[in-house]
Amino acid sequence: MLEPMLKPSNDTVLVINFWATWCAPCVKEYPYFERAFKEYSSKKVRFLMVSLDFPSQLEKSLLPFLKQRDSKLPVVLLDDPDQNTWINRVNPQWSGALPATLIYRGNQKVFFEGPVDYEDISANIDLLLTKP
Amino acid sequence: MKRLIVIFATTLLATSLFAQGLKVGDKAPDFRLKNVDGKIVSLSDYSKAKGFIVIFSCNHCPYVKAYEDRMIDLHKKYEPKGFPVIAINSNDPEVVPEDSFDKMVERAKQKLFPFVYLFDEGQKVYPQYGAARTPHVFVLSKQGKEFIVEYIGAIDDNYKDPSAVKEKYVEQAVDALLSGKKPSTTETKAVGCSIKVKK
């Protein structure tokens, strides 16, 4: 189900954000992703918000957050405690601290550990969209 | 969700870059930081220690909360063997009020921390170590007057369920050092809360 969404493609830019509702800087930057999601709705850009909320807090934290925002951003909950394995697979530069953002197209990618603002997101999407 | 991970593994190219800060084998700097009891603590104060389990920690982070009891257990098990836990909060309380010194004192009392819980006032120590998140562990061995980094990373491989842990990374590292060997796993990663600084 997720596979077609995450496969790097030569004509689509993928924006992946790792976040959680308990992470204050993540919640602060969430609206920037919502804005970009709207702004680029007619372009070849896909978004995926990967939540690292504790699965036990799904009903209490994540679902109410999403319901309240009435957000159309695609969200998945990543529940794999073997973080030592998958963090390096996401990006070897990543320490594991939240938030983290990956923007890529084909084999070109930009990685942010720490908060981003709207310009960080849009400038990199624009850059990747215009690459041949 | 395993599927998500497999996709990342097969599609993203690895660009290997070392994070800033200490690496395994480096000398770790000593510090002078205030403990929750008001006393100033340095690594060099511990004349009998064979090493340290330095944990960058804080009050507010859910991952820290998930590990607090395991931090207490680590200290109870290894302090008598010469490896005390040294917890350090490096967050800026102006960014996270819950991580103020006064709140640290409260948390330490509430949880009956048997280890020192130090405040990195002015956020000077965490960049020297290269700590990026909480909890972030640095196991040090004492060699003469120097402190050598032996392990950097996570406490174990399962934050949410202590009973499902397969690899107790920190225990394995300290056990190896206690038997005169080098740890077999020297670096691991885990999700955590970023250390909070003003932007």
User: Does the CB of A4 have a partner CB in chain B at under 8 Å?
Assistant: no
Residues from chain A contacting residue B199 (CB–CB below 8 Å): 115
Of B17, B167, B194, the CB nearest to A25: B194
Q: Give the mean model confidence (pLDDT) for residues A112-128.
A: 95
DSSP A62: I
* Per-residue pLDDT tens over the stretch B77-131: 999 999 999 999 999 999 999 999 999 999 999 999 999 999 999 999 999 999 9
Q: Does position A126 have pLDDT exceeding 90, yes or no?
A: yes
In angstroms, rounded to a whole number, what is the distance separating the alpha carbons of residues B98 and A43?
A: 42
Q: Does A81 touch chain B (CB under 8 A)?
A: yes
Mean pLDDT of the B170-182 span: 98
Look up the ipTM and state it: 0.81
Mean pLDDT in residue range A72-93: 89
Q: What is the pLDDT of residue B6?
A: 40
| Rounded CA separation A115/A117 (Å) | 7
pLDDT tens digits along B150-163? 999 999 999 988 99
The DSSP H or E segment spanning A30 is helix A24-39
| B51-86 tens-digit pLDDT | 999 999 999 999 999 999 999 999 999 999 999 999
Q: Which of A52, A80, A114 sits opposite B194 (nearest CB)?
A: A114
Annotated domain spans of chain A: 31-105
B78/A26 Cα distance (integer angstroms): 36
CA distances (Å), origin A51, targets A65, A79, A121: 12, 9, 18
Q: Do B194 and A81 touch (CB under 8 A)?
A: no
Say whether B8 and A83 touch across the interface (CB within 8 A): no
Q: What percent of chain A has pLDDT over 70?
A: 95
pLDDT in the model for residue B48: 94
Which residues of B fall within a CB distance of 8 Å from A6?
A: 4, 7-8, 11
Structure pTM?
Answer: 0.87
Token code pair at residue A71? 């957000």
A83·B190 Cβ contact <8 A: yes
CA distance A15 to B83: 43
Residue with more model confidence, A85 or A39: A39
Look at residue A6 in the predicted model and tell me its pLDDT.
64
pLDDT at A1: 38
Nearest to A117 by CA among A38, A12, A30, A43: A30
**What's the mean pLDDT when you consider all of chain A?**
90
Vertex A71 angle, CA A65 and A76, to 5° = 70
Of A33-42, A79-88, B89-98, B190-199, which range is least confident? Answer: A79-88
pLDDT attached to residue B15: 30
Q: Say if residue B175's pLDDT is above 70.
A: yes
A84 CB neighbours in chain B (<8 A) are 153-154, 157, 167, 188-190
Burial class (CB in 10 A: 0-12, 13-18, 19+), B57: buried
Where are any strands of DSSP class E within B36-182?
Answer: 40-41, 51-57, 85-89, 116-119, 133-134, 136-143, 146-153
| Range A17-31 average pLDDT | 95
Cα angle: A11, vertex A14, A18; to 5 degrees: 170
In this prediction, residue B7 carries a pLDDT of 40
Task: Answer yes or no: do A3 and B8 touch at CB < 8 A.
Answer: no
Domains (range + CATH), chain B: 20-194 (3.40.30.10)
Assess A56–B contact: CB distance below 8 Å, yes or no: yes
Mean pLDDT value across residues A84-108: 91
pLDDT higher than 90, residue A33: yes
